[in-house]
Amino acid sequence: LILGGTWLGLRLLSDAPGVTLYNVGTQNVSQYVGGGGIIYPQQQLDISYPVPERVVSVDVKPGDTVKLNQAIIGLDPAQLNAQIKEASDEVNAAQAYLNSVTAGGNSVAIAQAQEQYNLAQSRYNSLVAQADSPLLHNGNLIAPLAGVITAVNINPGEVFAANTPLITIMDESTVIVRVNIPLTSLGQVRIGQTAQVTPSALSTVNVNGTVISIIPQADPQTDTFQVWVAVKNPNGTLLPGMSAFVRIQNASARSMIAVPRMAVLDPVHEALVFVVRNAHAYLVHVHIAARTLDMLYVDSGLQGGAQVVLVGQYRLRDGQAVHVARVETHIV
């Protein structure tokens, strides 16, 4: 009988499926608020000029990187110089007329002459200011910021109208992600919080940014509000127009149970794990509160020190006897 009982025990042990267990433990987990958004340049300028001029040369093309104060368009200043001379002549004529009517003593005529003189002087001052514009140096329009040329709308030999956009410059050294965050997270976002940005087209790229603005206006169609996240972009990895997902780190951290993702059955819907007690595997529902690529963080259903089935769970039944082949304490 003793030999028979021993043989039966060995038979039952050999029938129990072998499993690998994982000892779960607690971790302090930072909470994240997330949402999708679009990347914009930190600054974008359309370069124009306030008076019509003829273009002598265009010194840049789309895609060129320019420095601050670099010459980008050569102008023929003849038209502006002619306008300044004409305005100067008008000022002299208005001054002479004002002097002549002042000698006559007619107050109405003096007032009218004074108004004409003021208008002529104002036009002259405006034209001189344009000639002294910080955008104009030695007959060239210069870049008011460092950046990348994204559009050129003029060719050499053409005459442009006043205030026509001639060239567009983008500063992409820092980009701004305008991300839409659910209204339920409104109280969890603050200026200065750290954020992680993942471009949709570059899923393996994660870059850090900082919350710089919270727009206090809700979108009624999506129940979201907008947050601006600034990201340093020295290598130009992030391009304006890209879509990206942003995770904004909450300052508070919670103690949760860390479970390897591969140990959880159906983590998207039911979230089940097998917990082994007394050489038997029991199916347990857990609630997933946070996720990383390899780990899931559970805030109910498990306690620290529990042993969950890491390998072999897909062939188990609730309450089934198991043979523990190995116990892991960390995931490589």
Mean pLDDT across 184-188: 83
Task: Please check the confidence at residue 9 and state whether its pLDDT lies above 70.
Answer: no
d(CA 149, CA 151): 6
Task: Please check the confidence at residue 116 and state whether its pLDDT lies above 60.
Answer: yes
Mean pLDDT rounded to a whole number for the chain: 87
The confidence band for 2, taking pLDDT boundaries of 50, 70 and 90, is very low
pLDDT the model gives residue 252: 65
d(CA 219, CA 133): 42
**The pTM is what?**
0.59
Task: Please check the confidence at residue 104 and state whether its pLDDT lies above 80.
Answer: no
pLDDT the model gives residue 292: 79
Q: What confidence tens digit (pLDDT) does each residue in 203-254 have? A: 889 999 999 999 989 999 989 999 999 999 998 899 999 999 999 987 567 7
Both structure tokens of 287: 């609630």
Q: What DSSP letter does each residue of 152-183 carry, written as one string?
A: E---TT-EEPTT---EEEEEEEEEEEEEEEEG
Task: Please check the confidence at residue 6 and state whether its pLDDT lies above 50.
Answer: no
Q: What confidence tens digit (pLDDT) does each residue in 284-327 have? A: 999 988 777 788 999 899 999 999 999 999 999 999 999 999 99
The confidence band for 97, taking pLDDT boundaries of 50, 70 and 90, is confident
Task: Please check the confidence at residue 270 and state whether its pLDDT lies above 70.
Answer: yes
Mean pLDDT across 259-263: 93
Mean pLDDT across 8-31: 76
pLDDT the model gives residue 12: 45
Q: For residues 167 and 201, is the Cβ–Cβ distance under 8 A?
A: no
Cα–Cα distance list, 253 to 30, 242, 259 (Å): 4, 31, 17
Mean pLDDT across 80-90: 81
Q: Report the percent of the chain where pLDDT is more than 90.
A: 54
User: Which CATH fold would you assign to the domain 32-42+171-253?
Assistant: Elongation Factor Tu (Ef-tu); domain 3 (2.40.30)
d(CA 103, CA 37): 71
pLDDT the model gives residue 132: 67
Q: Which residues pair with 227 in a beta bridge?
A: 179, 214
The confidence band for 99, taking pLDDT boundaries of 50, 70 and 90, is confident
Strand ranges (E), 220-318: 224-232, 243-260, 272-277, 280-285, 287-291, 295-300, 307-311
Q: Which residue has the higher pLDDT, 29 or 132?
A: 29
Mean pLDDT across 72-92: 83
Q: Which residues pair with 60 in a beta bridge?
A: none
pLDDT the model gives residue 51: 79
- Residue 283, SS3? strand
Q: Please classify residue 111 by burial: count the beta carbons closer than 10 Å to its beta carbon, then call 0-12 exposed, 13-18 middle and 19+ buried.
A: exposed
CATH architecture of 17-29+254-328: Beta Barrel (2.40)
Q: For residues 247 and 275, is the Cβ–Cβ distance under 8 A?
A: no
pLDDT the model gives residue 87: 83
Mean pLDDT across 75-89: 80
Out of 3.20.20.70, 3.30.460.10, 2.40.50.100, 2.160.10.10, select the CATH number for domain 50-75+139-164.
Answer: 2.40.50.100
Both structure tokens of 159: 């005459």
